[in-house]
Structure 1
Amino acid sequence: MTRVVIIGAGHAGGTAAALLRQYGHEGPIILAGEEPAAPYQRPPLSKSWLKGEADLEALLLRPESFYAEHGIELRTGVTATAVDAAARTVTFADGTIEPYDALILATGSTARRLAIPGADRAGLLELRTLADAERLKAALGPGRRLAIVGGGYVGLEAAASARALGAEVVVIERMGRVLARVASETLSAFFTAWHRREGVEILTGAEVSAFEDAGVRLADGRVIEVDAVLVGVGALACDQLARAAGLACENGVVVDETARTSDPAIRAIGDMTFRPVPTHGGHRHRLESVPNALEQAKQAAAAIVGRAAPTPEVPWFWSDQYDLKLQIAGLPDGADRQLVRGDPDVIGEGASFAVFHLAGDRILCVEAVNAPAEFMAGRMMIGKATPVDAAKLVDPSVSMKQVAVG
C-alpha cells in the first residue's frame, strides 16, 4: 500500500489528507504540523477570531476526532527537519524518521521581515498563526493605539477588526497607495476612503526606518507613537526543506498542473508553490489563498490515487472589512484596460461596484465589492474566455446574466 506523508497541517495539508480518504486511498497517511492545533482556517484570524466572534471549534477544518476515525495519523507540534529524496524519508526534530512512497509538502509561507533597526524586537506582532492572533487580540481594546506596517489585505482586515474593538489605528504603507501590489487604483481609493471614514489614519509613501520603544520611526524623522505594532509586509514561501532536498524552486517550489515537483514522488501544495495557472495561459504564479490550497490539494490527492485530474479553476480571493465583502476572480496580468460597473465613489450605505480588467474583449479579472452577481458572472466568463460587450458590462440596467450570454 502507498504510504503518504504530509508535511504541514494547515488548510492545504489537512484537506489533502481528507481527500485522499475520500478518493479511496487505503494506505497509511501521516499528517504532521508544527502548530499544536489540528488543521484550522486562517482567514478568520484577522476578522471573527480577532473580534472574539469565533472559538477554536469554529475555526477547525474538521473535528479533531475526524483524523483518527479516518485512519489519518495526525501529529501536531512536530517539525520536519530534512527530506531525503533518494531514500524517500522525512526526518523530524525529535529524531523520528518516516519513510514515504508519496510525500506532500504543504508548509505554507512565513511573514517577511524588514531589514531595519529594531526588526527583531520581541514586542513586534505578526498575523500568521492562531498564537499570533491571540497576542494581537491581547494588545487591542479601547484607548490602545496600534500601528500596522503594510497596507495589504491582512493589514486592512486587522485595522477593521481593531477599530471594532475600540483601538485607534494607523496604517503605514511605503507605496503610494494601499493594496498597491494586489489591486486596482479604483479599489485602493475606495478602501482608503472607507477606512478613513471609520477613523483609521492611513499614511502612504511612508517608509519605516526603525522600530523603537516609543513606536515606529519613519524615514522622514517622524515617530509614530503607539502601544503595539503589527508588521504585515508580505510573505515568503517556506521552501527550505524543498531546496535542501534538491527540488526545483523559484519564488516557491516549482510544480506542474498536478502539484508534482521536480521529484515525481513529491508534490507540493498551497502558499509555498510556484504553479501554472491554466486559465491564464499557463503562466506561473505564487497564489496565497484558500481556494488555491483547496485546488492543489485536489490535484495532489487525485494524482496519488490515480484519479482523473480535476478541472482547472479560475483563481479567486476574498476579503471582509467592516460590512464590505470584496471578491476577486482571475488575475489582471496582460490586461489593457479597466471598466467600472457601479459607483466606487459611494462611501457608505449602498456601496456596490466592480472593476473589470480586460484584454481586448476578454475579461481577465474582476474586483467586486458587495457585488456577488458581478463576481460570479465574471469568474464564469474568465473560465470560459467568453467575449464581452463592453457597453453592456458597464450598464447596471443590463443584468450580469444578460452580459454573460453575450
Structure 2
Amino acid sequence: MSGIVIIGAGECGTRAAFALRETGYSGSITLLGAEPHLPYERPPLSKPMDGAVQMKLICAEDALTSAQIEYLRGVSVSELDADAAAVTLDNGQVLAYEKLLLATGARPRRLGCPGAGRARDFRTHADAEAIFSKAGITRSVAIIGGGLIGMELASVLRGKDIAVSVIEAAPKPLGRAVPPRFADKLHARHSSEGVIFHLGRGVVAIDDDGVLLSDGSLVRADLVVSAIGVTPEITLAEQAGLAIGNGILTDRHLHTSAPNIFAAGDCAAVSQQGGIHTRFESWRNARAQAETAARNMIGIAEPFTAIPWFWSDQYDLGLQVVGLPQPTHERVIRSLGDNELEFYLDDGRLVAAAGLGTGNSLARDIKLAEMLIAAGIHPDPAALADPDLNLKALLKREKAA
C-alpha cells in the first residue's frame, strides 16, 4: 500500500519522517538516502575531534525500526512521475506514494576553470574525511571561497598549524550572509591567526602547484578546497515539471505546484510576502520546515513562519544571526565587554539581531532577541543599546504593554 515517500535523508527528510509519527500518522513511510550511512548532521563535519571527522547521527538504526520508517540507503531517484504519483529508483524499483516530500537539499557549486577536478568539495562526510585525512601531511591549503564554510574550515586548519590561503572574488570575505560589522571583525581575527587572503581575484586554473589567479599570481598549495557555496538540488522537480526558481517553489504551507508533493529544507524556495520566494540554508530551518511539512502532509494547514537563524564557530568566537538583517535597517549596537550585539529595526519594529562573542556566551541574548522579534515589538533604540537593561526584562515589559 502506498503511503508517504521522502526523498532525502538529511536533517530535513529524517526529521520529517519522525515528525509524521509524532503527529499520529500510521501509514507507511519510506525514507530514501543517497549516502551509505545512517542519517547524520552536517555541521559537526567541520569540527573534527582528536583528528577524526565526527559523524553525529540524527537517529540510530533501532529508532527507525521502532518508528516503522523504512530507510533505503545508498539509493537515488532516477525519475519522478507526478501524474502517476510514483518515483523510480536507480535500481529500477518503482515506489507509489500518496504524498511525497522532496528534501533533496543542495549540492556544491562547481568551479568552471581548468583543473577544477583537483579541488575538493566540502559537503559530505566523505568530503570531510578526504580533507582531514590529509591534514597530518599537508603543509598548505588553499580555500576557494570566503563564505561561512570556507572561513570555518580555515579556522580549524589554522588550529592544526597548517598554512591557509583564502581566495575570494569579492572585495571582502563573509559578504553575503554576515552583517558587515561582524564580517570585518572575523576577517581581522583570521588575519591575526595567519590566514592569507587573496580578495577581489578570480580563479583561472588549478594545477599541481596550486591555484592560478586572475592577476597572474600563483597561490601555492598542497591541497585545494572549493567552498563557493551550494545550489538547490532541483533536478527531479524540474524534470517532473514542477515550478522552480532559486529552488523548488512552494506556497507558505510548503506545497509545490504539483498535487500531493511538498518540498522542504535547502531545496525549497518558500513563498513570502510581496510574491517573492526565499530559500533558508541552515540546520534549524531544515528541522523547522520538516515539522511543518509533516503536519501539512497529513492535512493540517499550517503556514511556515519560523524566524531564520544560523550560527558559525570560528576559533573561539561564536556568531549567531536571527532574522534577515538588511542594509536598509536601522542598526542599534549593544556592547558587552568583548562581546557585541547588533539589533535591526524596520520602521521601528525589531526584525533581526546578531551577536559575536566568545564561545556560546551570547546564545541566551539571541534567544531573547528572537522572542522579541516574534512578539513584533517596536522597542526604544536606547533601551536596546543599554547593556544594563536585561533583554528578558524588556520582553516582559513589552508583553505587559
Deviation of 1:341 after TM superposition, in Å, equals 1.4
Answer yes or no: is 1:25 the counterpart of 2:25: yes
Q: What's the secondary structure of 2:245's corresponding residue?
A: coil
Does the 8 Å CA contact 1:171/1:201 hold for their aligned counterparts? yes
Does the 8 Å CA contact 2:142/2:224 hold for their aligned counterparts? yes
Deviation of 1:308 after TM superposition, in Å, equals 5.8
1:149-183 Cα distance to aligned partner (Å, 9 max, x none)? 11111111111111122211111111111111112
Query: Which letter does structure 2 place at the counterpart of 1:140?
Result: A
Q: How do residues 151-190 of structure 1 correspond to structure 2 at under 5 angstroms?
A: 151-190=146-185
Cα 1:61–1:108, aligned 2, differ >3 Å: closer, same or farther? same
Query: Which letter does structure 1 place at the counterpart of 2:89?
Result: F
Deviation of 1:77 after TM superposition, in Å, equals 0.5
Answer yes or no: is 1:275 the counterpart of 2:270: yes
Answer yes or no: is 1:266 the counterpart of 2:261: yes
Distance in 2 between residues matched to 1:336 and 1:16, nearest whole Å: 34
Deviation of 1:300 after TM superposition, in Å, equals 1.3
Cα 1:142–1:131, aligned 2, differ >3 Å: closer, same or farther? closer
1:335-381 Cα distance to aligned partner (Å, 9 max, x none)? 332222117xxxxxx63111222212122221111322431222112
Cα 1:386–1:286, aligned 2, differ >3 Å: closer, same or farther? same
Does the 8 Å CA contact 1:142/1:167 hold for their aligned counterparts? no
Distance in 2 between residues matched to 1:48 and 1:307, nearest whole Å: 40
Distance in 2 between residues matched to 1:282 and 1:195, nearest whole Å: 39
Cα 1:142–1:197, aligned 2, differ >3 Å: closer, same or farther? farther
Among candidates 103, 107, 123, match of residue 100 of structure 2: 103
Distance in 2 between residues matched to 1:222 and 1:374, nearest whole Å: 44
1:253-308 Cα distance to aligned partner (Å, 9 max, x none)? 00122211011310111000101357xx7852111111111111111110122346
Among candidates 369, 380, 384, match of residue 378 of structure 1: 369
Does the 8 Å CA contact 1:327/1:369 hold for their aligned counterparts? yes
Distance in 2 between residues matched to 1:323 and 1:277, nearest whole Å: 36
Query: Which letter does structure 1 place at the counterpart of 2:372?
Result: M
Does the 8 Å CA contact 1:109/1:272 hold for their aligned counterparts? yes
Does the 8 Å CA contact 1:143/1:166 hold for their aligned counterparts? no
Distance in 2 between residues matched to 1:395 and 1:224, nearest whole Å: 46
Answer yes or no: is 1:69 the counterpart of 2:66: yes
Deviation of 1:215 after TM superposition, in Å, equals 0.4
Number of residues paired by the alignment?
Answer: 393
Does the 8 Å CA contact 1:81/1:93 hold for their aligned counterparts? yes
Structure-2 residue corresponding to 1:255: 250
Does the 8 Å CA contact 2:2/2:95 hold for their aligned counterparts? no
Q: What's the secondary structure of 1:391's corresponding residue?
A: helix
Distance in 1 between residues matched to 2:275 and 2:189, nearest whole Å: 36
Deviation of 1:310 after TM superposition, in Å, equals 6.9
Query: Which letter does structure 1 place at the counterpart of 2:190?
Result: H
Among candidates 277, 288, 292, match of residue 299 of structure 1: 292
Distance in 2 between residues matched to 1:2 and 1:143, nearest whole Å: 51
Deviation of 1:137 after TM superposition, in Å, equals 0.5
Structure-1 residue corresponding to 2:325: 332
Structure-2 residue corresponding to 1:9: 9
Does the 8 Å CA contact 1:298/1:310 hold for their aligned counterparts? no
Cα 1:3–1:143, aligned 2, differ >3 Å: closer, same or farther? closer
Among candidates 356, 374, 383, match of residue 369 of structure 1: 356
Distance in 2 between residues matched to 1:128 and 1:74, nearest whole Å: 22
Structure-2 residue corresponding to 1:286: 279
How does the TM-score come out when normalised to structure 1? 0.92
Does the 8 Å CA contact 2:340/2:355 hold for their aligned counterparts? yes
Structure-2 residue corresponding to 1:356: 343
Answer yes or no: is 1:93 the counterpart of 2:90: yes
Cα 1:386–1:2, aligned 2, differ >3 Å: closer, same or farther? farther
Percent identity reads 38
1:377-404 Cα distance to aligned partner (Å, 9 max, x none)? 2211222221111112122122222443
Distance in 2 between residues matched to 1:298 and 1:21, nearest whole Å: 11
Does the 8 Å CA contact 2:289/2:304 hold for their aligned counterparts? no
Distance in 1 between residues matched to 2:216 and 2:35, nearest whole Å: 39
Distance in 1 between residues matched to 2:262 and 2:207, nearest whole Å: 43
Among candidates 318, 322, 339, match of residue 315 of structure 2: 322
Cα 1:296–1:312, aligned 2, differ >3 Å: closer, same or farther? same
Structure-1 residue corresponding to 2:110: 113
Deviation of 1:74 after TM superposition, in Å, equals 0.4
List, as ranges, runs of 4+ consecutive aligned residues in structure 1 with deviation greater than 4 Å: none
Does the 8 Å CA contact 2:53/2:128 hold for their aligned counterparts? no
Distance in 2 between residues matched to 1:312 and 1:286, nearest whole Å: 13
Q: What's the secondary structure of 2:244's corresponding residue?
A: coil
Q: What's the secondary structure of 1:100's corresponding residue?
A: strand
Query: Which letter does structure 2 place at the counterpart of 1:356?
Result: F
Structure-1 residue corresponding to 2:225: 230
How does the TM-score come out when normalised to structure 2? 0.93
Distance in 1 between residues matched to 2:365 and 2:64, nearest whole Å: 38
Distance in 1 between residues matched to 2:54 and 2:329, nearest whole Å: 45
Query: Which letter does structure 1 place at the counterpart of 2:386?
Result: D
